[in-house]
Structure 1
Amino acid sequence: MTHATKPQPPSYADLEKNRSKLMWQAQRIVRNSATAEDLVQDCLIKAWLNLDKFRGESQVYSWLYRILLNTVFNDLQRHRHEVLASSLTRESEADGALEIPDIATPEEHLIARQRAQALLSRLESLSPSLTDTLQLRYQDDLSYAEIAQSLHVPINTVRTRLHRAHQALGIK
């Protein structure tokens, strides 16, 4: 009986050589290079801190891309909650502008506000079935089979919903 050996985890250089591809993907999603840079940096840090979790079942880039998507969706969710909470507290303002709390500089405030508005708009345009599927996949980190079981739909429906949601959000 042979025992499978665990593959060697990627090195920092292996992670870093994927930075430009990850950056391109992040920019496509958030459409802001500074934000994309931050998200990619967060992704690489998470990967570096979790090298022991790399199982070698996929290419390093695929693993990093999954981490990037989780990072992006967590960021989207965090900003969505900030925007919604802020807009509820500012409900009485005449212009109805969204406010982003605790931003250090006016430029950061403007960037965060624009980004939050764009992301909120794109997320709100998705059907509930797509947002539920996205949440189960990227926030709750469920497998396709677990999502299918949770939503009482065939696994191909889960794949289709995720594909449609990715298209709508500009993710390939």
Structure 2
Amino acid sequence: MNDAHLHMVVNHFPIIGTILGLGVLIAGIILKNNSVINTAYALFIVAALFALASMATGEGAEEMVEDMPNIGKRIIHEHEEIAEKLAIVLYLLGAISILGLILNIKNHSKAIFISFAAVIVAIVSVYLTTLVGTSGGEIRHTEIREESIDSAVKNSIDSEKQVPDLKTSEPKEYDR
């Protein structure tokens, strides 16, 4: 298994785990259930660990695919920049989650404050995960790139202009 394969294996959990964790955390706050809140914290901690693994394998994955046709360094660089921001936010969310777990176990009065802080950071994380996931998908899935859609429409229009109208064109030798 190479770095590109490892990156593909580990890079989905920071996205899915963060989105799932946010939903679980909101449910735990609404239900006022510390066990549910702690479950969300555990999801955030695991998401942060997988973000660490994604960052560790990302450079090797980049080296393997950056010179492939239709990929390009610009799109990989854009993905890398957003991923670095997400990783920092997920590390912060993981640290907040560890603190939240400790405060919940001790029944500390500031535990609820930490859970609301986690919601705010998780919302930022979810926003960044959508950007990272989309930019990562665009690396190999050229059909979802914005410029691919624009160029496909342009190529379609151009090809319609170049197709001769069969009713008005002169018959060719083999048509007779």
- More helix as a share of residues: 2
Higher relative contact order (CA 8 A, sep 6+): 2
Common topology (TM > 0.5): no
> Which has the greater radius of gyration?
2
- Which TM-score applies when normalising by structure 2? 0.31
- Which TM-score applies when normalising by structure 1? 0.32
